[in-house]
Amino acid sequence: MPIVNGYAAPAAGAPLQPFSFERRELRDDDVDIAIHYCGVCHSDIHQARDEWGGSMFPMVPGHEIAGVVTAVGKAVTKFKVGDRVGVGCFVDSCTKCKTRDVDNEQYMAGLIQTYNSLEADGVTPTFGGYSSRIAVKEGYVLSIPDSLPLDAAAPLLCAGITLYSPLKHWKVGPGKKVAIVGLGGLGHMGVKLAHAMGAEVTVLSQTLNKEADGKRMGADHFFATSDLQTFVDLQGYFDVIINTVGASIDWTDYLNLLALDGSMVLVGIPESPAPVHAFALVGGRRSLSGSMIGSIKETQEMLDFCGEHGIVSDIELIKIQDINEAYERVVRSDVRFRFVIDMSSLEAA
């Protein structure tokens, strides 16, 4: 089996370091991909530090993969050598399900994550995109539009679809008022996508420090949540609120900003449970829900939408050797707005 170079966390909380490992031989339905870029997601940090529990080590993180096809199995029909492609958060699904729901496969019991998971054999660990190459089933490979630069397109494979899916599901578009809570790696994608969908977009951020960025990305309004008057002035205003922050906040305060039949959707994952006052829900027939990435079908739809509208992530390109410093900066919210690793730097690792 081919030997691949990458970076791995050897144990929970340990600094990432160079790591060589075996990738599988190309199967008939596989696409072999040279990884050019890989985005750095906050969930990479949570899992590398075992903050959610269940992490497996050594771990090669990375599920925002952008690269070029170098070989295809003999049964592959959708891709050819030289195609620009991406791989997102999962590389297989529904091995435990009698039927496969292609519109909701990210919620199926048999989901196999791009890293920190086991392949269908239940033994072989999956290793992610902080590496030089990967072989993936054709059905889990995505086409990246030629109009999008590969480096800035990489975060679309997680951050992009994480926001696109709930915006689409809750029918955000012209005439709808949507609030994006937090303007970080997830939130800035939500602003760009909701604006392109035609909605009235408001950013709710702790301070006004990023107001210029938010307006540049398409926000119509920008409010500081540290100002308590914000929660008075905006009561009952929004049809949809997408909460992208991972910090613990008072969800009840935000639920009260929803109009009748409004929905607040969680895509950020706090480490601890948060209480909710029932009257904030029943008083306006409001709902509190959650959303997790998207199906392969929906992710391709999102990429095509971004290609049509020229939407990519705002990125800071880094070398793989700087990954541990980048992790610390993500935790400090010191990035505008997404780190992407230039995997050609592996050659110098």
Domain(s) of CATH 3.40.50.720: residues in the chain: 159-290
pLDDT tens, per residue, the chain with 349 residues: 789 999 999 999 999 999 999 999 999 999 999 999 999 999 999 999 999 999 999 999 999 999 999 999 999 999 999 999 999 999 998 756 665 677 888 988 789 999 999 998 899 999 999 999 999 999 999 999 999 999 999 999 999 999 999 999 999 999 999 999 999 999 999 999 999 999 999 999 999 999 999 999 999 999 999 999 999 999 999 999 999 998 888 899 999 999 999 999 999 988 778 889 999 999 899 999 999 999 999 999 999 999 999 999 999 999 999 999 999 999 999 999 999 999 999 985 5
User: Residue written as tokens 């630069």?
Assistant: 149
Class of domain 159-290: alpha beta
* Pair 340, 315: CB distance under 8 Å: yes
User: Angle at the Cα of 36 (from 34 to 37), degrees rounded to 5?
Assistant: 135
Distance of alpha carbon 13 from alpha carbon 259, whole angstroms:
42
* Pair 226, 253: CB distance under 8 Å: no
94-107 core/surface letters (b: 16 or more CB in 10 A; e: else): beeeeeeeeeebbe
Domain(s) of CATH 3.90.180.10: residues in the chain: 3-158+314-348
Whole-prediction pTM value?
0.95
Structurally, at CATH architecture level, domain 3-158+314-348 sits in Alpha-Beta Complex (3.90)
* Pair 128, 65: CB distance under 8 Å: yes
Single-letter code of the amino acid located at 154: A
